[in-house]
Amino acid sequence: MSSKHTVVLIPGDGIGPEVASATRRVLEAAGAPIEWVEHHAGLAALEDGAEVLPESTLGAIRAHGIALKGPCTTPVGKGFKSVNVQLRQALDLYAAVRPVRSLPGVKTRFENVDLVVVRENTEGLYSGIENVITDGVVASLKVATEKACTRIARWAMDYASRRGRRKVTVFHKANIMKLTDGMFMRAAERVSERYPDVAFEELIIDAACMRLVQDPSRFEVLVMENLYGDVVSDLCAGLVGGLGVVPGANIGDKMAVFEAVHGSAPDIAGQNKANPLALLMSAVMMLNHLAEERGDEAAKASAVKIKTAYDQALSDGQKTADIGGSLGTKEFADAVVERI
């Protein structure tokens, strides 16, 4: 197949538009077979006078099946519900996949980190069910369903098996949350029995975090519920150079939305300082996804071209400030384009 794929581009806000434009430029230089249609969400949609998550944005993703998304700001402690969470729930993008690997030329405390965080993306404490019980007492409901626990476990085991990964570890707190985390852990155990080629282990999340920072190379694929996955993703980003270098995908049975782990970084927005690599890597995941799902060799070839180019740029010391370099967003994109 050689025709172009229509991909919905949601630039987001904060550093979103800057990293989205850098990413788009690199994909174009690599001849990626993509045709973009731009839609908005979050603050950018409100500025257009639309709803925070417009039906036209959701409709475009449903129609084309694939999107690349920049970060969207969520007001803290007040205001609208996270548009990122809304989008994942509305489109049933139940698996958040975040590959974390040590990069050439990016010096951190660890070498040889190569793990994947798989986060359940639709329920847990992100169900958004919060109630005032009485004055001074509030409650937030953690929801777990057998269906969601089982499908995320299956997704993680399946992913490990397809990618030749040898082990899946479930992080949980089933010693305290015996019902919710207990269900999550038991579902994973049950599903793992059907994958004799992949080793399975379960760890209580507090001890698991200690092990992660002692020796991340002992882990391969991690699977956990929503909130733990959110926190552990950022922790893992710290092992390999920070949020500027960790990509992600939100995957459902019918659609996929690719986005970096990082947020809108208001502290550096509009200053040409953001590292576009995390979104660029997410775009490479998207091209590989297109290659796998739609059998597109051109998508695969451009993914390889881009990955080789950014690895080379990093090896040559071409880096943004967050990972010890001095380049701006645009200049790093230039360095990648030069190497394509």
Calculate helix-pair angle for 277-294, 16-29, nearest 10 degrees.
50
Q: Nearest distance from residue 189's CB to ligand NAI, in Å?
A: 30
Determine the Cα–Cα distance for residues 327 and 312; give it in Å rounded to an integer: 15
Query: What's at 125, amino acid-wise?
Result: L
Q: Nearest distance from residue 326's CB to ligand NAI, in Å?
A: 13
Which string of x and - marks every residue 238-277 that binds ligand NAI (by CB under 6 A)?
-----xx--------------x--xxxxxxx-----xx--
222 DSSP assignment:
E
| Cβ nearer to ligand NAI, comparing 200 with 332 | 332
| Cβ nearer to ligand NAI, comparing 300 with 330 | 330
Written as six digits, the tokens of 320 are 């943004």
Q: Nearest distance from residue 324's CB to ligand NAI, in Å?
A: 12
| Residues 55 to 114 in contact with ligand NAI, rule: CB under 6 A | 71-74, 84
Dihedral sign of CA atoms 292, 296, 299, 303 in order: positive
Which string of x and - marks every residue 2-21 that binds ligand NAI (by CB under 6 A)?
-------------x------
Q: Nearest distance from residue 179's CB to ligand NAI, in Å?
A: 28
| Cβ nearer to ligand NAI, comparing 81 with 300 | 81
Is 33 within 8 Å of 60 (Cβ atoms)?
Answer: no
Active-site residues, by number, are 126, 173, 206, 230
Q: Nearest distance from residue 15's CB to ligand NAI, in Å?
A: 6
Determine the Cα–Cα distance for residues 67 and 81; give it in Å rounded to an integer: 21
Q: Nearest distance from residue 52's CB to ligand NAI, in Å?
A: 13
Quickly tell me which residue has 């956990």 as its tokens. Answer: 224
Determine the Cα–Cα distance for residues 218 and 236; give it in Å rounded to an integer: 13
Measured from the Cβ of residue 102, the count of other Cβ atoms closer than 10 Å reads 18
| Residues 305 to 324 in contact with ligand NAI, rule: CB under 6 A | 322
Which residue minimizes CB distance to ligand NAI?
Answer: 263
Dihedral sign of CA atoms 283, 288, 292, 298 in order: positive
Which string of x and - marks every residue 126-165 that binds ligand NAI (by CB under 6 A)?
----------------------------------------
User: How is the chain split among helix, strand and coil, in percent rounded to 5?
Assistant: 45, 20, 35
| Cβ nearer to ligand NAI, comparing 199 with 231 | 231
| Cβ nearer to ligand NAI, comparing 208 with 268 | 268
| Cβ nearer to ligand NAI, comparing 174 with 274 | 274
Determine the Cα–Cα distance for residues 37 and 9; give it in Å rounded to an integer: 6
Measured from the Cβ of residue 198, the count of other Cβ atoms closer than 10 Å reads 21
What are the helix (H) ranges across the chain? 16-29, 43-47, 55-64, 83-90, 146-162, 180-192, 205-214, 226-240, 277-294, 297-315, 329-339
Q: Which helix (H) or strand (E) holds 272?
A: none
Give, rounded to a whole angstrom, the gap between the first and last alpha carbons of the chain: 23
Residues forming the site for ligand NAI (CB under 6 A) = 15, 71-74, 84, 243-244, 259, 262-268, 274-275, 278, 322
